[in-house]
Amino acid sequence: MTVAPARPYNRSDWASSFVNVDEELTDVALTPVRGVVPAELQGTFYRNGPGRLERDGQRVHHPFDGDGMIAAMRFDNGRVQLTNRFVRTEGWLAEEKADKVLYRGVFGSQKPGGRLANAFDLRLKNIANTNVVRLGDQLLALWEAAEPHALDPQSLETRGLSRLDGVLKKGEAFSAHPRFDPGHNGRPSMVTFGVKTGPRSTIRLMEFATEGPDAGTLLHDRSDSFPGFAFLHDFAITPNWAVFLQNAIAFNPLPFVTGEKGAAQCLQSKPGGKGRFWLIPRDSGEFAGQKPRILEAPEGFVFHHLNAFEDGDHVVVESIVYDDFPSIGPDDDFAEVDFDTVPEGILHRCRLDLSREIVNTERISERTCEFAMVNPERQGLSAQFAWMAVAERETGNDPLQAVQKLDLSSGATHTWSAAPRGFVSEPLMVRRPGAEAEDDGWVLDLVWNGARRASDLVILNARDLSEVAVLELPLAVPHGLHGSWAAEL
C-alpha cells in the first residue's frame, strides 16, 4: 500500500490570510530582515487583489468577490517603500457609506435577506480586483467584466472609470489579463481584448502603444464572432496571432436570476464537450485582415496560459490545464475547501498544426502549478525558462507554497519554498537591465507568512531561485491575483 506524503502546511495558516486589509499606508519604508535589495532594481512592483472580504459581519462567499486593493512597492537604489490603497469604485464608496453589503458578487456572495432579496438584482459590481498595469500616464485597475479604473501611478488615488479616451463604451468588458508585446512588429504594445458572450461570442482585439509620446493610444482594433459561449480570462500572443481557448463551458443564468447562485456558479463543464482554439490574426502581423482560424482543443479547462510561439506552420501554446472547471458551490466555505476534491493545474504544451488542422498535446510538468510566466522579452517567442507558483509536494493538490523555475527543454528545476507556514502568490520575473541571458534578473513574490499573520516581499535570483532579500510588510495582504512591474524610465 502506498502512503501519501504528509501535507506540508497547516490549514489555519493558509486560511488566516482571508482578512480585511485594515489600513492604507503611504511611502512606508521596508527594511530587509534578510539579504540586501539590489540597487539595479529600479521601478515599482504593483499588485492587485481582494482587500475587503467582510463587511458588517458578513463575509464574501468567495475571495474573488472582495473589493480591489492595490499595493505598490517602489524600488529606488536599494530602498523600498510601500503604499497601498483601495480602489474607490462606485460600489466600494456606496458600501463604505452604508457600512453594509449592497451588492451581490459574481462568485456567489449575496446581499443580506436571502434568496428573495437577491432575485432579479442583476447588477454587476465592478470591484477592480484582478490586475493592475501601467499604460501611459495611467495605472489601470482591471476587472474583466467592465471598464478599468484609472489610478495615479504614484499616490494610487482613484481617478475614476476610464474608457481610454473613448475606446470603450459604457460598461464594455476589458480583459484583466493583457499581454505585453516587447516589440515583435516594430514597436512595443499592450495587446488585450474584450468579450461579449451569448449563443455567439464576439472578441474585440485591441493593441495600445506603451512607449513614446503616444503611449496609451489605440493602434489596432478588430472584432470577430465565434459560435458558442465564451468564458475567457486569459489568452496568448505570438507576433502574428492572438490565441484564445474557448473552454467547453455551458452557462445557465436562471439560478443567478432567481437569486440562488452567483453568475460564475452558473458555469458548468459540458459533459463530452470539446473546447476550441480561436486564432485571431493580429493587425500588426503578416496575416492582418485574414479570417480567424479555429481548431479543436483537447479536453480540460484553462484559466491561464504560460506563453505561445510560432514554429513554421505550427503555433505552440503552453497552458495550465485542469481536468474540470474548479468552482465553489453555494453551500461551500472557501476557507474549508478540500484540496483533494479540487482539480489540480498541470502545465501542458499544445502544438497546433495550422496546415493540417490537428493538435498534439503533451504534459511538460507533473507538479501542481499556477501563475506561470516567461521572461517578458520572450513573450510570444520560444522561451527556455518559466517561473511559476507551485505546490510544495511533487504530486498532489495543495495550496501554492513554492516558486519554481522550470527549464522547458530539459525539465530541470530550481525551487524556493515558503513551507511549512508560508504561501506564495503570482511570481513576477523582472529582467536585469541590459541582460543578455534569458534567466538574468530577479523574481519578486508577495508571500503570506502564516507565522506572523502578515505578508513578506521576497526577492529571488531568477537564475537559481536563491534568496536575495526578504522584507516584512507591516500589512496583512490576502491571497491575491495578478500584478505587474513598471520600470523607471
What residue numbers does the annotated binding site for Fe cation cover? 177, 233, 304, 482
Cα–Cα dist 106/108, whole Å: 6
Cα–Cα dist 9/12, whole Å: 9
Our measurement of the distance from residue 436's CA atom to the centroid of its chain's CA atoms, rounded to an integer in Å, reads 27
Cα–Cα dist 13/335, whole Å: 11
Secondary structure class of 212 (helix, strand, coil):
coil
Query: Which residue is listed with cell 460598461?
Result: 171
Identify which of 450, 115, 421 has the alpha carbon closest to the alpha carbon of residue 262: 115
Please check whether residue 426 is in contact with residue 483, taking contact to mean a CB–CB distance below 8 angstroms.
yes
12 sits in which H/E element: helix 11-15
C-alpha cell at 327: 468552482
DSSP 411-453: --EEEEE-TTTEE----EEEEPTT--STT-EEEEEEEEETTTT
Residues annotated within the binding site are 177, 233, 304, 482
Residue type, 41: L
Cα–Cα dist 61/130, whole Å: 17
Secondary structure class of 181 (helix, strand, coil):
strand
Cα–Cα dist 346/260, whole Å: 32
95 sits in which H/E element: helix 90-98
Residue type, 267: L
Largest CA distance in the chain: 66
